[in-house]
Amino acid sequence: MQQLRPEERREFQRLHLTHPFPGTVGNTPVKLIEIGILGARFEHAEPIAGEFANLHFTHGASEVSMKCELVRPNQPSQHGLVSAARFLAAVGDSGDRLRDLLAGLVMHELDFRRTHPGTVEVQTVDGDKTVTGRDAGFLCYRFENGTWTRRRVFLPEQPSVGFTVARSEDTAEIQRLCRVFEASDEEGRRLIRLFAELSVSDALEIPPRM
């Protein structure tokens, strides 16, 4: 069975929003400052009461509504109050809309951060046949000593030297992620792992649909 490496983790990351966008938690207006597939952080002027509430926001053409549990609510900040929410369930198609929104935001940030113009050549990714079970639903790509290796894994941990995606992910998209990963700094690589987590969350149906 696949051995887990200590630096690999299943915790999903959040994207810091350079330009916060508005929403509501229950009836309270908020500004989202971080968002990920499992939760969000937001600033607000009025205290939020209760332990559970729905987060609703619209960004572009994406309308997202999530059933949430509030964690560390109403903490003082320089802009009033700040709270965090853990997503419990997606209302309707909000899970897919959130994934699409995050994918667009992450790729926009990566394009902005790109410091190496042009195409970066990537060696062919070799398959590691150590894990061969049909139930290994994820592919882990690791970039070590200038070479990419690929292996099937049962658990979608994100390695610090690469990324893990669902096996159903498009091959051309994976090769593009490999090229961008090579040309990125550490923060850029973290964003790529966040992007890869969107594929994982889709396969695992996270957050669940109501």
| Res. 7: pLDDT tops 90 | no
**What pLDDT score does 1 carry?**
30
**CB distance 132 to 126 below 8 Å:** no
pTM for this model (two decimals) = 0.71
Give residue 11's pLDDT.
60
Which residue stretches of the chain are H helix?
Answer: 94-113, 171-183, 186-204
pLDDT higher at 183 or 126: 183
**Taking Cα atoms as reference points, which of 75, 110, 90, 101 lies closest to residue 38?**
90
pLDDT tens figures, 101-118: 998 888 888 777 765 444
Q: What is the mean pLDDT of residues 194-205?
A: 89
Q: Rg (Cα) of the chain, in Å, rounded?
A: 18
How, if at all, do strands 162-166 and 138-144 pair? Answer: antiparallel
Domain boundaries, the chain: 113-204
Task: Please state the rounded mean pLDDT for residues 202-207.
Answer: 86
Dig out the tokens for 120 from the structure: 């970066």
Question: Residue 80's pLDDT is what?
Answer: 94
pLDDT tens track for 129-158: 333 344 568 899 999 999 999 998 887 888
Please give the backbone phi and psi of residue 4, each rounded to the nearest 5 degrees, phi first. -80, 135
**Residue whose token pair is 């990920």:** 36
* CA 155 – CA 158 distance, rounded (Å): 9
pLDDT of residue 114: 66
pLDDT digits (tens, 9 = 90+) for 26-54: 999 999 999 999 999 999 999 999 999 99
